[in-house]
Amino acid sequence: MAAVDHNTEAEIGGASAPPSRRVTVTVSDGALIPDRGEKSLFSAWRIAFFGAIAMLITLPILSPTPYRDILVFIPDGVVTTFQVTVISILISLVIGLITGLGRISRVILINRIATIYVEVIRGIPLLVQLFYIYFALGQLVQVPRLTAAIIAMSVCYGAYMGEIFRAGLQSIPKGQMEAALALGLSRRQALRKVILPQTLLVILPPVGNEFIALLKDSSLVSIIAVSDLLRRGREYAAVSFNYFETYTVVALVYLVITLFLSKIVSFLEGWVDKRGVQS
């Protein structure tokens, strides 16, 4: 899978080394995607996932107070977390598609606007963007907390999605477009009916990875008082002073969700690979 822009890449061996001697190391800020070839009953993913679930079940049984109370207190925060994540990822996909098309556009003005958007947004931390939209722009236009969170997440991840779409579009052989034009399709029709369907297939795994990363980054919205999972945990801890127990549960819930989603991404990668082999 091609690395997206906020992954860290390094080449061992140097640029002067022959291609056979170079090794590319890719480190992603998303969740670790489980290896599809790993069949061991005690794989790292199974140990982490089922271990976290076991702890979430065992802790309330062994110590109902406060663990059971915490689990009863935070479910609405989980709902809000998913609400912010799902809406943001959908909007960022639209922004990413437009940006990706703009990045490969032959129209200089459109290309420059899309490129400037990507460079500016990627150069500003997400937390700063949250503060800017909610507090700075809030002096001009009052934006509800949840709306501000969704806007900031969508705008930020739209830039990364734009690069994923750009890479996906450029990965399709140029012969596909030429063949579509030769069959009498316009460039727009060829893009919509031939290029984009293949692009969507290619970018499914990295988009899934971004979904996981966005879910984790959604914890930042608690800073502007959005009642997400982390915020609800902070509220409980502030009242009960059970900080260790509260943040243990919050961490375990995040871990279960991200590991579950990473498994789905792994299945998507396998499905895309099979489709690639069949085609």
| DSSP-based three-state secondary structure for 56 | helix
The pair of three-digit structure tokens given for residue 206, joined into one six-digit string: 């990295």
Cβ contacts of 104-107, under 8 Å, gap ≥ 24: 104/166, 104/169, 104/170
pTM reported for the whole predicted model? 0.82
Give the model's confidence band at 2: pLDDT under 50 very low, under 70 low, under 90 confident, else very high: very low
For the stretch 69-112, pLDDT in tens is 999 999 999 999 999 999 999 999 999 999 999 999 889 999 99
Q: What is the pLDDT of residue 183?
A: 85
For the stretch 144-190, pLDDT in tens is 999 999 999 999 999 999 999 999 999 888 888 888 888 888 888 88
For the stretch 103-143, pLDDT in tens is 998 899 999 999 999 999 999 999 999 999 999 988 888 88
Phi/psi at 12 (5° precision): -95, 125
- Radius of gyration of the chain measured on its C-alpha atoms: 22
Q: What is the mean pLDDT of residues 28-50?
A: 71
Superfamily, domain 37-278: MetI-like (1.10.3720.10)
- Residue type at position 79: V
**Which of 150-159, 200-209, 212-221 is the least confident region?**
200-209
User: Domain map of the chain by residue range?
Assistant: 37-278
Q: What is the pLDDT of residue 196?
A: 87
Q: What is the mean pLDDT of residues 252-259?
A: 94
DSSP element (H, E) containing 11: strand 8-12
Give the model's confidence band at 244: pLDDT under 50 very low, under 70 low, under 90 confident, else very high: very high
Q: What is the mean pLDDT of residues 241-269?
A: 92
C-alpha distances in Å from residue 6, one per residue of 26, 28, 106, 161: 10, 7, 26, 11
> Cβ atoms within 10 A of the Cβ of 264, count?
13
Q: What is the pLDDT of residue 28?
A: 55
The pair of three-digit structure tokens given for residue 93, joined into one six-digit string: 């996909």
Q: What is the pLDDT of residue 102?
A: 94
